[in-house]
Structures are given as C-alpha cells and as structure tokens.
C-alpha cells in the first residue's frame, strides 16, 4: 500500500515537472508539433496582419461644445500611409492619431468617409508601413475560418478567431436624410471587442476580406465585405474624398416572378416597386408602383441590393434602359438617374 502511494506521488510529480511519467516511451512534442492546423492558421494570420493594424484615437466636439475622445482600429492598405477604417469610428472628427505595434504614434488626416457603406480612408505621413493584402469576400463560404484583428484602446494586436456564420446579412446606415442598407455583410462568431471597429477580418491566408463594423450581440459580429463594390468605394475615397451614388427614386422589395415570366427571363425573382417618389427620375420615366423591375442597363436585378449596386457614378445623367413587367407585359423605359444628395 505504501509503495503504491509513493509511486502515485512520483507519477504526479513527473507530470507537474514537465516529464513524461512513463519515461522515454513517448518523446515530448516540440512547440511547433504541438500546434494543430487550426492554431497554425490563426497564429500565421496574426503574425502577418498585426503590424498592419493600428489603434486609432480621435477627438470630436459634441453638440454642447464638449470635447469627446473615441477609439477604434484601422488597416494599412498602402506603404505610404493610407488606412481604411469604419466611417463611424472617425465620424465628427477632423484628425486623430494612429498607434502601431512597432511603437510609432502618427497623426492622421481624414481623406474621405462614406457613411452609407460605413467605410472611411485616412492617411498618415509614414512611407514605410506594412500594407495588408486585400481579398475578396465574394469567395467566402459559411463555416470558413476567419480571424478578427483589431488594436482596441492601444492593446496591441487583439486577435479572435471563429467562422463565417452567415453571408448576405444587411444593416441600415444613414447620412443626412439618406438611408441605405449595407448589403452582403459578413456575420461571424469571432468576438469583436470594444475598439475593434475598423479592424481587419481576414481569411485563413491572411487576406483582409472585411472591415469589422459592429458588435451585433454576444458572440456575434458584423463586417463590411471587401469585394468589387467596396473596392470601388475605397478607390473613390482615396482619389476624391467621397463616393458618388446615383438616385433613381424608388422604394422596392423582393418578389417572385410569375412562372411564365420566370421561364422567359431565366430567373425566379425580381424587385417590385413599392413607392415612386414625386419628381424623381423614376417618376419622370413613368415607372409606377407594382411594376416589377427585371433589368437595369442590361443587368439582371434580382434583389434590392442588385439595384443599389447599379446606382453608381457611371449612370448619373445618362439615359439608362430599365426593363419592367406590368400588367402581363414586358416594357422598356428610359430613366436618367440623378446624383444622390445627402
């Protein structure tokens, strides 16, 4: 009995001392071997992107005139100082400072912001920053590994990991009198901490596929996707400081197409005009409530998001053909979208 107790104590001591209790029968794993594939992916992404994510501090004046401080994160996209962040992080501010993990604190200026997509571009004076690689969120799949990286409140390199919980989510944004739904938002269970807004959401190869924008609830985060549409917005903000949108003047909703029409056009859905605003380009073109919009400028329209994506700078002031379905017949009308005033 005493011998059994002594052997048990030695066994426990061996474990606590880092030794294998059975001697050399099973060699100890190295740190690299102990990391599983998931851990390797997350640590690789973190090491790659942490130098590209800055902690942002901004000061703004409240309506009462009191100065208020805010914080968020930003992602470096060019070595010469351009960063992208969430528009709400820098809203109401003229400038601020960016803190990097190498210890540098640099002042930044706001180049442009687009609250209707919740994206903004800022620039520091540095010329040797580590730029992140932008990916394409349109290639994401539900269940895919994603890593959220921020620099909240100066805590260097906050990293959380999870999966893409859902795609195609939307949330409302507002600028002045204009309200817009940000479409194709990425939903993830990678925890977003306060101050992570404006930080990077990356895929398993370290490419930035989203800009963290909101904490929607416990264990639920949202990110604006990086894709062809948002790349266009970011490019316009870098060049001009703003992104111009076209205005058609309709409120729409999704609607299944009648079976015969669906067979004729080769798809099952379109958008129904719910309201036409007085004096709008749509009203002048003769578009009416209950019309089904099938195509704009030759491009199929299946959802309200499709319509929004087509209302870009290139169609402002140009006669654009719009194919509609009304009273059992297909018609084409010409509309001239105007510049959206916000």
**What average pLDDT does this structure show over 247-267?**
89
DSSP state of 337: P
Least confident of 24-33, 63-72, 96-105, 240-249: 24-33
The mean pLDDT of 255-262, rounded to a whole number, is 91
**What integer pLDDT is reported at residue 317 of this predicted model?**
93
**Using CA atoms, how far apart are residues 208 and 39, in angstroms rounded to an integer?**
19
Higher pLDDT, 245 or 341: 245
Sign of CA dihedral 74, 77, 82, 87: negative
User: Residue 108: is its pLDDT beyond 90?
Assistant: yes
Q: Is the predicted pLDDT of residue 254 greater than 80, yes or no?
A: yes
3-state secondary structure of 19: coil
**CA-CA distance, 209 to 205, in Å (whole number)?**
10
Listed in sequence order, the DSSP H helices in the chain are 2-16, 31-34, 37-49, 87-90, 228-240, 259-265, 281-284, 304-310
pLDDT of residue 251: 85
Q: How confident is the model at residue 2 (pLDDT cuts 50, 70, 90)?
A: very low
338 contacts 281 by C-beta, under 8 angstroms = yes
Q: Say yes or no to pLDDT of 305 above 80.
A: no
Q: Give the number of other CB atoms < 10 A from CB of residue 182.
A: 22
- H or E element: which one contains 272? strand 269-276
Tokens standing for 288? 């009416």
pLDDT for the residue 29: 56
Position 213 scores a pLDDT of 85
Give the tens place of pLDDT for each residue, 123-138: 998 999 999 999 999 8
- Single out the residue of 135, 149, 156, 157 nearest to residue 77, CA to CA: 135
pLDDT at 95: 79
Q: What is the pLDDT of residue 199?
A: 93
Q: Counting Cβ atoms within 10 Å, is residue 262 exposed (0-12), middle (13-18) or buried (19+)?
A: middle
Catalytic positions, written as ranges:
88, 118, 197
Whole-prediction pTM: 0.75
- pLDDT tens profile 135-194: 999 899 999 999 999 876 655 668 889 999 988 776 666 655 555 556 678 999 888 776
Average pLDDT over residues 311-318: 88
The pLDDT value recorded for residue 84 is 97
Nearest Cα residue to 70 out of 197, 174, 159: 197
Other residues' Cβ atoms within 10 Å of the Cβ of residue 160: 18
The share of the chain scoring above pLDDT 90, in percent, equals: 46
274-299 tens-digit pLDDT? 889 889 999 999 999 999 999 999 99
Asked if 214 and 197 count as a contact pair (C-beta separation under 8 A), the reply is yes
Cα dist from 135 to 65, 91, 173, whole Å: 41, 26, 24
Task: Give me the mean pLDDT over the 204-221 stretch.
Answer: 80
pLDDT of 34 over the 80 cut: no
């Amino acid at each position: 009995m005493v011998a059994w107790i002594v052997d048990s104590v030695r066994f426990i001591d061996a474990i606590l001392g880092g030794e294998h209790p059975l001697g050399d029968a099973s060699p100890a794993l190295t740190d690299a071997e102990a990391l599983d594939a998931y851990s390797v992916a997350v640590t690789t992404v973190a090491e790659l992107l942490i130098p590209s994510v800055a902690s942002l501090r901004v000061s703004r004046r409240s309506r009462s005139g009191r100065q208020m401080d805010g914080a968020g994160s930003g992602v470096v996209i060019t070595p010469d100082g351009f960063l992208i962040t969430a528009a709400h992080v820098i809203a109401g501010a003229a400038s601020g400072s960016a803190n990097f993990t190498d210890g540098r604190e640099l002042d930044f200026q706001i180049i442009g912001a687009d609250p209707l997509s919740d994206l903004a571009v800022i620039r520091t004076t540095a010329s040797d920053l580590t730029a992140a690689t932008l990916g394409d969120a349109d290639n994401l799949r539900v269940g895919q590994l994603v890593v959220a990286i921020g620099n909240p409140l100066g805590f260097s390199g906050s990293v959380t990991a999870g999966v893409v919980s859902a795609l195609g989510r939307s949330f409302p944004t507002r600028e002045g009198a204009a309200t817009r739904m940000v479409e194709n938002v990425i939903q993830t269970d990678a925890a977003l901490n306060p101050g992570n807004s404006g930080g990077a959401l990356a895929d398993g190869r370290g490419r930035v596929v989203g800009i963290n924008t909101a904490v929607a609830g416990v264990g639920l985060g949202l990110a604006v996707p990086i894709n062809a549409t948002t790349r266009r917005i970011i490019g316009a903000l870098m060049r001009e400081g703003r992104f111009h949108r076209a205005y058609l003047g309709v409120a729409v909703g999704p609607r299944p197409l009648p079976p015969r029409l669906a067979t004729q056009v080769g798809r099952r859905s379109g958008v129904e005009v719910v309201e036409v605003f007085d004096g709008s380009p749509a009203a002048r073109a003769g578009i009416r409530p209950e019309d089904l919009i099938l195509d704009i400028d030759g491009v199929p329209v299946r959802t309200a998001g499709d319509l929004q994506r087509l209302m870009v700078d290139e169609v402002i002031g140009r006669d654009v053909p719009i194919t509609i379905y009304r009273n059992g017949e297909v018609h084409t009308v010409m509309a001239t979208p105007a510049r959206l005033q916000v």
